[in-house]
Structure 1
């Protein structure tokens, strides 16, 4: 799966790390990179090495968004490819049932911001910055930024960012609840891997089911989401033997003692 545009490695058994690898272009999303990333994410769907996925960028940037140089030299607007699902990595992130950690090592701009927002958890370096520059370049978002950002940080903050194109620092992103952790640059990958390791310690089927329940519930009213939770809990309990539940409880206690 490795290529010059996308690097793949396995920092832990059960964890796959994808690294956008166009550092000289701030990992800008060329048509070729979009296609390769989308394909790679879809290929991870049935891969036991990808019970948790980490997505990051090479060099000093996470992702600068769409490759504007490529767009500017294109003979046709078809290069955007917004109707082509094979060029839509955000849709591929949404299809992936396992948890996805965005390890944002530097600027995440516009399309790069959308990719980070499509992940389940965002950890970032103190050098990370976020920006929605759609209004500045004259293109409206197509990968969810206009909807996800307001749900993540609130509508007033989101409007300010999107209607000005201003940058959001890592510190303010943490204060806004956008990022889970902000760490020194050299500690970022270790932080992401530690989170992945914690997720890999839980029961695998429950990990995927819980992500699905959380994400589906966010699309519903509270009353509907509570009803969904109750229904899913009953179905889940029918699939689990009580002896297995007790063993998992003991495993959790043992792990807590080791960490104490």
Structure 2
């Protein structure tokens, strides 16, 4: 039986690929078990992995929570297991890109929102369809979606269950970047290279600062930055010397 989440490492980036293309990468418990195992390993691999990319195999990122799994009665390893896995993904010390092409509905959108950067193809289709099925979110939609797009746009998406494309997702701030479908892989590689070329120390430190100060008043956030920041990285001197010599090193 093939893996439901594949991992490929290249040039400091670890790409995790949801691998149920025949089911449009619908998210069942076993997918989350495999994703969880990868995420737990990646959390301790900061010296060799500077960026994590999550994407889907085949026609789309993911059609969402496997409704067949719900109907059959999911057997979870622990209560709220999927939400905990998504939180562990969001809390990885490395930057996380969620790369979305094709469908990205409901549970899949909750998973995609765990990314620091949502990278979309113009043909991507985003929607929150909880209300279609008389469901309410437990994987983070009510918290992460408003923080991305604002509370009233989030309410519109939740109330209408309307599908929006990649360009609209970029316009409202749901996606950071939208690119042409035929440029998706090349532009994703370019973005990854740009991130990996900068200090991995700084990425981890900056991500931690932003996460820890989210929601704090400005004065408290500024104090946190000064007194809880990690200062200079071990690669600072080499990077400055490299710049002066026009030979800036990566990693």
Note if 1:117 corresponds to 2:113.
yes
Higher share in helix: 1
Q: Say whether the 8 Å CA contact 2:83–2:140 is kept in structure 1.
A: no
Deviations 1:176-222 (A, max 9, x none): 12212211223212222222212222222222111111222223222
Structure 2 match to 1:204: 200
- Comparing 152-161 with 183-192, greater Cα deviation is found at 183-192
Deviations 1:136-167 (A, max 9, x none): 11221111111111111111111000111111
Q: Say whether the 8 Å CA contact 1:39–1:86 is kept in structure 2.
A: no
Structure 2 match to 1:178: 174
Shift of 1:80: 6.3
Deviations 1:98-131 (A, max 9, x none): 0001110111111100111111001111110111
Structure 1 match to 2:13: 15
SS at match of 2:231: helix
- Comparing 139-148 with 247-256, greater Cα deviation is found at 247-256
Q: Which runs of 5+ in 2 are unaligned?
A: none
Structure 1 match to 2:29: 31
Structure 2 match to 1:6: 5
What is the alpha-carbon distance in structure 2 between the residues aligned to residue 186 and residue 180 of structure 1? Answer: 18
Structure 1 match to 2:155: 159
Distance change in 2, residues 1:110/1:30 (3 Å): same
Q: Which runs of 5+ in 1 are unaligned?
A: none
Cα RMSD, aligned residues only: 2.3
Distance change in 2, residues 1:8/1:186 (3 Å): farther
Structure 1 match to 2:239: 248
Q: Say whether the 8 Å CA contact 2:6–2:19 is kept in structure 1.
A: yes
Q: Say whether the 8 Å CA contact 1:132–1:166 is kept in structure 2.
A: yes
Structure 2 match to 1:133: 129
Q: Say whether the 8 Å CA contact 2:90–2:96 is kept in structure 1.
A: no
Q: Which runs of 4+ in 1 moved over 3 A?
A: 78-82, 84-88, 244-247, 249-256
Shift of 1:50: 2.4
SS at match of 1:46: coil
Q: Say whether the 8 Å CA contact 2:99–2:118 is kept in structure 1.
A: yes
Shift of 1:81: 6.5
SS at match of 1:236: coil
What is the alpha-carbon distance in structure 2 between the residues aligned to residue 112 and residue 255 of structure 1? Answer: 41
Note if 1:195 corresponds to 2:191.
yes
Q: Say whether the 8 Å CA contact 1:101–1:192 is kept in structure 2.
A: no
TM-score, L = length of structure 2: 0.89
Count of equivalent residues: 246
Shift of 1:39: 1.4
Structure 2 match to 1:236: 231
Q: Say whether the 8 Å CA contact 1:13–1:49 is kept in structure 2.
A: no
